[in-house]
Amino acid sequence: MSTRNVLAILLVAAAIAACSAKKKHGEPQASAGASAATAAAATASDAAAEVGARIYSGNCVPCHQQNGVGIPSVYPSLAGSSVVLGDPAQLARWVIKGQRPPSMSAGRYPTQMLQFGWMKPADAAALFSYLRSNFGNSAAPVDAAAVAKALGQ
């Protein structure tokens, strides 16, 4: 069985498990309309988090490592990073176009940040939201419209 098939089976199993989660005894029950809206928002948020995690794993891990701490004196840590936690527009221009944010001093790391110009605003927003909510970070998610605006699209 190919890796792709195994991953597809795991994703389907996870989706089924998530759909079959039961309400705990004694929890208040919301109205059907509110429940549906909350569930839809949670599903969209989960999907974006999954996309962000996948993009991170496939593109960022070699430099910034699986845990986001980077490689000292070579690749910066994303944990507590002022660039990650700061202005999402500056982060978008740095990652997509290679425009160094004013808050990041030049020459601190000997390596150059790769440009990910292939990313669509929705993909970049998912990645940035993932970075801003993982590795001990806690910042507001980023939406695709903000990324598109930052990139002049």
pLDDT average, residue stretch 6-23: 43
State how far the Cα of 92 lies from the Cα of 13, in Å rounded to an integer.
Answer: 34
pLDDT of residue 16: 47
77-96 per-position pLDDT tens digit: 999 999 999 999 999 999 99
